[in-house]
Amino acid sequence: MMTQLKSQSPGLYIVSGPAGSGKTHWIFQQLSKQTGSQIYGAPSQSSWCLDSAYLESQLRGDLQNLNTRNLAEIEGWALKSPVYLELGFHLDLQVLPIFSSCVPCHKIAVLPSGLAMSEWHFWADNLVLGVGAMNPQMPSQIQKSDLTGEVFDPASLDMVWYELTHGAYGEVQRAKGIFNVVDGRSFWFSFVAGQDSYYEELNRPRCLESRPGGLSGIEVCGQNLDTEAIASNLAASCLNDQLLSHYQAQYRSYAANSEVVS
Amino acid sequence: MWAILSGIEGNLTAYEAVLRDLKRQSVEIEALYILGDILGLQGPVEALLERLQSPQGGERTPQICAGFWEDQYLQMQGWGGGQPEAALSQYGSNVLMELEKRVPRSCLDWLRSLPFGFLELDCLLVHGSSVSVSDELSPQTPPWQLLDYLVRVEANFLFCGRLGQCFSVQLQNSQISSQVTTLDQPLIEQKATSSPRQIIGVGSVGRVSGLARYTLFYPTTGQIRCRTVEYAPNP
Amino acid sequence: MKIAVLSCIHGNYEALNAVLLDLEQHKAEKIYCLGDLVGYGPYPNAVVEMIRSLDIPTCQGCWDEDIVEGLNACECSYPSLLAEQRGKLAHEWTHERIYPEVRDYLAQLPLSLREGDLCFTHGSPQNQHEYLLPEMNAFAALERVLSTGANTLFCGHTHVPYVRTLEAGSIRLRVDYKGESGEETVFTTPLRRIVNVGSVGEPRHGRPNATYVLYDTETDHVQLREVEYDYQKTCAAIIEQGLPPIFAWRLARGLEFAERADDPSHICER
């Protein structure tokens, strides 16, 4: 059933799958192989989307982030290049928008190994093997917090993330985030229940002056989440203006010194 | 080459004598460190502070850290959360008045901004020790204590000035065996060795009238020279 | 004589009782305590009263000092902003509930105790806040013991127990002084030992059990003890008493996070 998709030709590539199965990762692989325009949209997301921010930072070349409400625009792009639309695991696959039949449309489900028949199997015309094992229970809660402009103390961030992913604030099945830390770097954190957390530095310009402007935030899916505790512990891990400018000045002077040495 | 001074103690004439001696050196002075005790009982401080802050023709701007007298003066002014007990016990009850006479209050902010010391390459430069400005390291200090001060900050050279004398203690072939038993891990056996390390007393510029002592250091070779400069003290 | 050495009880009355029972079963004749009786846990007063009623010689820990003096640890003694915030919460909670006579008792505790060739202290002989970790540079560790003049130094504060033996130490020394080069001398150090007794009430070794140490002064044998107790009772009390639930979560996993500086040997200048 698993097929190797020829994903370089124009058309719509609608990608779905359970939380944490590796949808964004699969799209990243396709887009990075691509030479022409890199076009992506996330219809299930509100005003901000961690996945598209991740892709934007990590792909070479410019990512075209689509306004997914404008179907005509999507179709226009899809006639010229491959267009990737990522659906959140919580979207109802039966009520997706209907695209014109002249646009080639591929439905791809990224599924963890060992997943028995599911709605994705019926919906998709291509199955891709994702990562991890299937969690039998669908998350009942999603908590999203925009943290743009916030800068974390790395040791505190490690502690909250450890607690979050080890059940201190409820049963977490999936968590991902983009976090700025005080040395000016930004990181992608990703966790799927049953697996180790994954961390990756984002290719963003190092911010050592005032607050970083790039999107930062966290998304947590699970059961019985203590959303208040998550929010307050995250807040307690961020630097205030005074501390931030103090440390940034230190990092700037390190940076200046190391330039002299090199 | 670095010039490392300490203990001017308000003695501007002595400091000038050292600066003249530095100009006579054939090797270029790349850095000038003053390890505290700008203040002291040897003279008024105002003109000295002026001189320190305005180097002339080719002189290096000195890098200055806090010393015993700076610390005691700040304590006296209510900064630092204690009392100038060390000065009182070592120099008697008049010492505060004497110091007050010599130090302009306008330099308070400058004094507060002084760092505790410098860590440059593998050298720690401080007035007392890596723990306190009041520690007086000397050739009589137990060697394990000297070694501790160095390994704390992972330095190979420790320059200090509290004693006011030139000296050097070289620690070599240091070794020790250690065994650690924990609840969960098997016995851990370690044999620790330490690279050669050295503690250097840099002398005092101003404490002895007519005789200024300071230290020259070649960071590339590790060579150390104690310089003694004779000068005519102010009457 | 068999002695028991405890530390870092942190208001955990259940754990203290379990340890007292265990050391009685092992026929310990004398008990020493290395401080941190209060902080984080729900029963600071009861713990202090128990220690006092048994007349246990006790030194002052950093938490005991903070409760007496007001929170004065510099921010450098916290590993993170979050730990700092939690530490302050625990401090305020304890501060509001502690009885005046308990505070007076904590105030008069000595920083270290001596008994023959043994020295007892909370952190290190120089500072209640210093962590003597097992991986600390061996020369620095040796200095801590030698500075006390004792053969064995008992400490706590890190919440993970260990025994470290330091032997066959030697330093080759050459002194140049007053223009004269001295002769080379070799300085040797005798066998010394650091015994970290772990934590009764806030363990950090990855299990919720209480830890302490039994020491036989005749045979010189040190035994690291790990004692199970009903930690769920303490966890429930933490929540009931209005302490942050995360304290209970971490206690149940042996993940105490108390302050621990990036540089464990860092000593606050304040």
DSSP letter at C96?
A: H
* Every domain of chain A and the residues it spans: 11-132, 141-249
Judging contact as 3 or more Cβ pairs under 8 Å, the answer for C and B is yes
Evaluate if residue A217 carries a pLDDT over 70: yes
Residue A186 β-bridge partners: A180
Residue whose C-alpha is closest to residue C32's, from C1, C72, C5: C5
Burial of residue C185 (CB within 10 Å: 0-12, 13-18, 19+) is exposed
Min distance C120 CA to chain B CA atoms (Å): 19
> Are A159 and C80 an interchain contact pair (Cβ–Cβ within 8 Å)?
yes
Q: Taking residues A151-177, report their average pLDDT.
A: 95
Cα(A234)–Cα(A179) distance, rounded to whole angstroms?
11
Cα(C119)–Cα(C34) distance, rounded to whole angstroms?
10
Report helix angle C100-107 to C44-53, nearest 10. 60
Mean pLDDT of chain A: 86
The DSSP code sequence of chain A is -B------SSEEEEEE-STTSSHHHHHHHHHHH-SS-EEEE-TT--S--HHHHHHHHHSSS-EEE--TT-HHHHHHHHHHSEEEEEPPTTS-GGGPPPPPTTS-EEEEEEEEET--S-HHHHH-SEEEEEEEE--SS---EEEEEE-TT--B-HHHHHHHHHHHHTTBTBEEEEEEEEEEBTTS-EEEEEEETTS--EEEE-------SS---S--EEEEEEES--HHHHHHHHHHTBPPHHHHHHHHHHHHHHHHHHHHH-
Tell me which of A60-64, A161-165, B222-226 is least confident: A60-64
Q: Beta strand pairing status for B166-182 and C162-177?
A: antiparallel
Cα(A187)–Cα(C200) distance, rounded to whole angstroms?
38
Residues 164-183 of C with CB under 8 A from B: 164-179, 182
Cα(A28)–Cα(A35) distance, rounded to whole angstroms?
13
Q: Which amino acid is at C67?
A: I
Cα(B81)–Cα(B86) distance, rounded to whole angstroms?
14
pLDDT digits (tens, 9 = 90+) for A170-202: 999 999 999 999 999 999 999 999 889 999 999
Evaluate if residue C74 carries a pLDDT over 60: no
> Are B147 and C178 an interchain contact pair (Cβ–Cβ within 8 Å)?
no
- Most confident by average pLDDT, A192-196, B193-197, C107-111: C107-111
Burial of residue B94 (CB within 10 Å: 0-12, 13-18, 19+) is exposed
Q: Which amino acid is at C17?
A: N
Cα(C69)–Cα(C129) distance, rounded to whole angstroms?
14
Cα(C170)–Cα(C188) distance, rounded to whole angstroms?
4
Order of strands, edge to edge, in the sheet holding B63-65?
B63-65, B31-35, B2-5, B211-218, B223-230
Burial of residue C104 (CB within 10 Å: 0-12, 13-18, 19+) is exposed
Top pLDDT among A230 and C256 is at A230
pLDDT digits (tens, 9 = 90+) for C119-153: 999 999 988 888 999 999 899 999 999 999 999 99
Percent of chain C scoring above 90 in pLDDT? 74
Class of the CATH domain delimited by A11-132: alpha beta
- Neighboring chain B residues of C187 at a CB cutoff of 8 Å: 143-144
pLDDT digits (tens, 9 = 90+) for A238-255: 999 999 999 999 888 887
Report helix angle C13-25 to C231-240, nearest 10. 160
* pLDDT of amino acid B62: 95
* Cα four-point dihedral sign C268, B118, B38, B213: positive
Min distance C82 CA to chain A CA atoms (Å): 5
> Are A160 and C82 an interchain contact pair (Cβ–Cβ within 8 Å)?
yes
Q: Which amino acid is at B27?
A: V
Report helix angle C138-146 to B143-152, nearest 10. 130
> Are A156 and C245 an interchain contact pair (Cβ–Cβ within 8 Å)?
no
Chain C residue whose CA is closest to B140:
C175
Residue from the list A153, A163, A237 with its beta carbon closest to the beta carbon of C246: A163
Residues of A with CB under 8 A from a CB of C: 153, 155-156, 158-160, 163, 166, 168, 229, 233, 236-239, 243
Cα(A151)–Cα(A237) distance, rounded to whole angstroms?
8
Topology given in CATH for the domain delimited by C2-251:
Purple Acid Phosphatase; chain A, domain 2 (3.60.21)
Give the pLDDT band (50/70/90) at residue A18: confident
* pLDDT of amino acid C14: 98
Residue from the list B144, B169, B226 with its beta carbon closest to the beta carbon of C139: B144
DSSP letter at C58?
A: B
Alpha carbon distance, N-terminus to C-terminus of chain C:
40
Report yes or no: A225 and A143 within 8 Å, Cβ to Cβ. yes
Which CATH number among 3.40.50.2020, 1.10.10.60, 3.40.1390.30, 3.30.1220.10 corresponds to the domain A141-249?
3.30.1220.10
* Every domain of chain C and the residues it spans: 2-251
Domains of chain B with CATH codes: 2-230 (3.60.21.10)
pLDDT digits (tens, 9 = 90+) for C214-245: 999 999 999 999 999 999 999 999 999 999 99
Q: Two tokens at A108?
A: 């791809």
**Taking the mean position of all CA atoms in its chain, how far away is CA A47?**
14
* pLDDT of amino acid A258: 61
Residue whose C-alpha is closest to residue C211's, from C232, C235, C195, C194: C195
Cα(C133)–Cα(C123) distance, rounded to whole angstroms?
10
- Neighboring chain B residues of C222 at a CB cutoff of 8 Å: 181
